[in-house]
Chain A
Amino acid sequence: MDGRTGRDEPDAGRGTPAVVVDVDGLDRMIRGLARAGYRVVGPVARDGAVVLDDVDGVADLPAGVGDEQDAGRYRLTGVAGGALFAHTVGPHSARRFLSPPRRTLWSAARDGDGFTVDGPAADDPPVALVGVRGCDLAAIAVQDRVRQRSPHPDPACASARARAFVVAVDCARPASTCFCTSTGTGPAAGPGHDLALTELTDAHGHRFVVRVGSDRGAAALAGVPWRPATAADLDAAARVVGDAAGRITRRLDPARARDVLAAAPEHPHWDDVARRCLSCANCTLVCPTCFCTAVEDVTDLAGGHASRVERWDSCFTLDHSYLHGGAVRGSTRSRYRQWLTHKLSTWWDQFGETGCVGCGRCIAWCPAGIDLVAEVAAIAGAPGESGP
């Protein structure tokens, strides 16, 4: 790409003219982030899914890979044109890196008849997340607000979050499970990114229109060849997002869902869901906003050292609500009700917003094909507002 490079960083902030980089420019940006000390994580096609993992450059990204999703179904497909972000969201989300599935909180070592305590471990390197979709960008913010509600927010997660660099991407090919237009979280990437890309693969070449969301984002473009975006580039980008929004048909009204579920703790439909739900916890593990964890002790064989290890947990397990004598939520009915009511209703009471960002993961990854949008519609007593 000709044009300016490096030293003149585009200015950050609202109203900043967007710039255009090509595939090589994106590659340089990723390598630049790694050189600056970031662990760069992006989408990678593996074992039949697009997951998030370390990437060295654009060669690791899933070129020409799309996905088809439906209730209980997720399949990769080939997409002509070689786009790097033709897929939507897979089973992983940013929370895997900002609040990892397993980590040590603190540890203790025997010392005479007592013990000493070692506080939280040193910080890991900061993470740069490449390819974050609008729904997941919103989910990062939802989890921020969860963390802020703690009287003693976890220092390691707060630090990981504050240092994270986010390269967002607008969605061009939403899945049938997506409903971000209902939650107001997509298909365009909203606020909260350092850089946001719209991928274009038209006659004018494979390129990215880049919006700069922060000073760090502007700095990351140093050393990357870019040119100012033209009106034609911006039009093309707007069309990509507009077309994507037009293809999303699934609808959920978050404010209505809140009221419907708040009024329905004893609704007979919970029994109907319970007959289908396997209590497998998949929905909670793929959901980008779920935050439940369990903490357990891991001791060495000699018993001289013990770590408090936090791992992801789910309200679908019996242990989640265990009190000596038994679980409070002993039935699948009550556990599914907890998941759906927390996500869509009590989340409002706790955090002032819905806990759902409309990513559709829980629909695709449910082995029984349970679709929360349809379940809410059934409880509301209305016919499903959209079919799978």
Chain B
Amino acid sequence: MAERVATATAGSPTRALAGRTFPARYRVATRRAETPDVVTLDLEPLDDPIPPPRPGQFVMLYPFGTGEAAISVSGLGDGGTLQHTIRAVGATTRALCALGRGAVVGVRGPFGSDWGVGSPDLDGLDVVVVAGGLGIAPLRPAVHALLGRPRSGRLSVLVGARSPADLCFADELGRWRRRADLHVAVTVDAAAPGWDGSVGLVTDLLAAAPFDPRRTVALVCGPEVMMRLAARGLEAAGVAPERIRCSLERNMHCAVVRCGHCQLGPLFVCADGPVLPWATVAPLLAVREL
């Protein structure tokens, strides 16, 4: 027979698969509590690092024996360091949030589309960043990239949280606020003693943000209802739906167009998304239970 049976060689996985088909190992270098249930981890590679993620992309994080979770990059450091900001909501994310300094975690990625902030398409355009809750996590590296860009228009960062205690990256928001090249506004649903900022919806912050709607790109991430409100507000202000980019969440088991779980109509959110133009997703999200 022409076809020979391949002799099975057990063991060492090929480099090409590490970090994609099965995880590369990283070590927790620092762990910082952002809020009572949100933690930011800085991860340093133990194995060959995964290719550098672009802002908006995500990885699959694996705490030993406790599943994998899709988690965005919330920051990018030197030497292949990754930052992730995680809310403990279930078994996998609780295990991730419980990891201490020195603990080992598996990483596959990076996966999916990104905010496109590295693209010359944004040259000269105003950018409005709208974040609700943990939506600030995937947007943070986009802001970092935008602050460094050469031919920039104006940049606004509008942040909403449930309460002052739920605000992530509060120190950094404070530093951003003092910059002249950045408009920052923060609002909470419910104030607390000592809060002198605004109270209300994040979309209320659009009115005071400096942008020319005909020359603006908006980056939006947060709960789906919030993104819908934000997109509606931006559209009402005159921003074209093709220029409103939002980041979607769907159940994900594989992140590589295999498990089928992340489908939203014709889209595989793991590969076509998570960042998608509002013009594409609005008609899909309008169908209940799609």
Interface size class of A (residues with CB under 8 A): 35 or more
Q: Given contacts A114-B25, A322-B251, is CB(A120)–CB(B13) below 8 Å?
A: yes
CB–CB A154/B5 < 8 A: no
- Asked whether any CB of chain A lies closer than 8 Å to the CB of B195, the reply is no
Residue A115 contacts which of B14, B20, B25 (CB distance < 8 angstroms)? Answer: B25
Indicate if the CB atoms of A108 and B17 lie closer than 8 Å. Answer: no
Whether A265 contacts B21 in the complex (CB less than 8 A), given A37-B4, A163-B6, comes out as no
* Shortest Cβ distance from A108 into B: residue: B64
Which residues 4-22 of B have a CB within 8 angstroms of A?
A: 4-6, 8-14, 17-18, 20-22
Task: Kindly supply a per-residue 1/0 record for chain B positions 241-270, scoring 1 wherever the CB is within 8 Å of any chain A CB and 0 otherwise.
Answer: 000000001110110111111010110100
Q: Which chain A residues border B77 with CB–CB below 8 Å?
A: none
Residues on B with beta carbons closer than 8 Å to the beta carbon of A294: 253, 259, 261
Say if the beta carbon of A323 comes within 8 Å of chain B. yes
* B65 contacts A by Cβ under 8 Å: yes
Check B25–A291 contact: CB distance below 8 A: no
Expressed in whole angstroms, the minimum distance between the Cβ of A105 and any Cβ of chain B is 7
Which chain A positions have C-beta within 8 A of B111? 151
CA–CA, A120 and B62, complex, Å: 16
- Interface flags for B44-67 (1: CB within 8 Å of A; 0: not) read 001000000000000000101111
CA distance A372 to B23 in the complex (A): 40
A222 to B1, CA, bound (A): 8
Q: Is B289 within 8 A of A334, CB to CB?
A: yes
Q: A115-B25, A155-B17 are in contact. Are A110 and B64 (CB under 8 A)?
A: yes
Q: Does B98 contact A (CB under 8 A)?
A: no
| A293 B21 Cβ-Cβ under 8 A | no
**Which residues of the other chain, B, contact A179 by a CB distance below 8 angstroms?**
none
A105:B251 contact, CB within 8 angstroms: no
B33 beta carbon closer than 8 Å to chain A: no
> Chain A residues with Cβ under 8 A from B11's Cβ?
118, 122
Chain A positions 312 through 355: 1 when the CB is less than 8 Å from some CB of chain B, otherwise 0: 01010001111110001111011000100010001001100000
Q: Check: B290 CB closer than 8 A to any chain A CB.
A: yes
Contact check, A321 vs B261: say whether CB atoms are below 8 A apart. yes
By the criterion CB–CB under 8 Å, are B27 and A114 in contact? yes
> Which residues on B sit within 8 Å (CB–CB) of A259?
none
Please determine whether A220 and B1 come into contact, CB atoms closer than 8 angstroms: yes
Q: Does A64 contact B (CB under 8 A)?
A: no
Which of B4, B25, B271, B289 sits near A331, CB closer than 8 Å? B289
Asked if B259 and A216 make an inter-chain contact with CB atoms under 8 angstroms apart, the answer reads no
Q: Are B13 and A118 in contact (CB under 8 A)?
A: yes
The residue in A117, A147, A350 that gathers the most chain B C-beta atoms within 10 A of its C-beta is: A117
Evaluate contact between A150 and B256: CB separation under 8 angstroms: yes
Q: Is B102's beta carbon under 8 Å from chain A?
A: yes
Which chain A positions have C-beta within 8 A of B103? 113-114
Q: What CA separation (Å) do A116 and B62 show in the bound complex?
A: 12
Nearest residue in B to A319 (C-beta to C-beta)?
B251
**A248 at the binding interface (Cβ < 8 Å):** no
Q: How far is the CA of A165 from the CA of B25 in the complex (A)?
A: 38
B-chain residues with CB within 8 Å of residue A216 when the two chains form the complex: 1-3
Contact stretch, chosen from A46-54, A168-176, A295-303, A379-387:
A295-303
Cα A152 to Cα B254 in complex, Å, equals 10
* Pair A350/B268 contact, Cβ less than 8 Å: yes
| Cα A37 to Cα B65 with chains together (Å) | 35
* A284–B201 CA distance with the chains assembled, in angstroms: 43
Q: How many residues of B contact A (CB 8 A)?
A: 55
> For residue B254, which residues in chain A have a CB less than 8 angstroms away from its CB?
293, 295
Q: Which residues of B contact A2 (CB under 8 A)?
A: none
- State the main secondary structure of chain B at its contact with A: loop
Residues of A within 8 A of B14 (CB): 119
The answer to whether A219 and B23 have CB atoms under 8 Å apart is no
A80 located at the interface, meaning its Cβ lies under 8 Å from any Cβ of chain B in the complex: no
Cross-interface CB contact of B25 among A105, A117, A154, A319, cutoff 8 Å: A117
A294 to B259, CA, bound (A): 6
**A-side contacts of B13, CB under 8 Å:** 106, 117-120
Q: A297 and B66 in contact (CB under 8 A), knowing A126-B5, A321-B251, A346-B266? A: yes
When distances are taken between beta carbons in the complex, the residues of chain B under 8 Å from A202 are: none
State whether A321 and B90 are in contact (beta carbons under 8 Å apart), knowing that A110-B64, A150-B257, A297-B65 are contacts in the complex: no
- With both beta carbons as reference points, the residue of chain B lying nearest to A128 in the complex is identified as B3
CB < 8 Å: which of A105, A159, A163, A315 contacts B22? A105
A30 to B249, CA, bound (A): 49
- Answer whether residue A215 sits at the interface, using C-beta atoms and an 8 A cutoff: yes
B289 & A36 in contact (Cβ 8 Å cutoff) = no
**Chain A CB within 8 A of B104 CB:** yes
In the complex, the answer to whether B89 meets A36 with C-beta atoms within 8 Å is no
Residue A280 at the chain B interface, CB threshold 8 Å? no
A338: chain B residues at CB < 8 Å are: 263, 290
A215 B258 Cβ-Cβ under 8 A: no
A235 at interface, CB cutoff 8 A: no
> Contact string, A116-137, partner B, CB cutoff 8 A, digits 1/0?
1111111111100000000000
Q: Check A292 for interface membership: any CB of B closer than 8 A.
A: yes
Are B9 and A122 within 8 A (Cβ)? Answer: yes
Verify B21–A291 contact, CB threshold 8 A.
no
- With A and B bound together, what is the CA distance between A219 and B4 in angstroms? 12
Contact A303 B65 (CB under 8 A): yes
Task: Give CA–CA (A319, B90) in the complex, Å.
Answer: 14
Asked whether A125 lies within 8 Å of B259 as measured between CB atoms, the reply is no
Please, which residues of chain B bring their CB within 8 A of the CB of A330? 289
A123 surroundings in chain B (CB, below 8 A): 6, 8
* B 72-84 binary contact with A (CB < 8 Å = 1; else 0): 0000000000000
Known: A293-B258, A330-B289. 6 other contacts (CB 8 A): A37-B1, A119-B17, A219-B3, A265-B287, A320-B251, A333-B289
Interface CB pairs A-B, < 8 A, 11: A106-B23, A114-B104, A119-B13, A119-B18, A126-B6, A155-B21, A163-B6, A296-B67, A315-B260, A334-B289, A338-B263
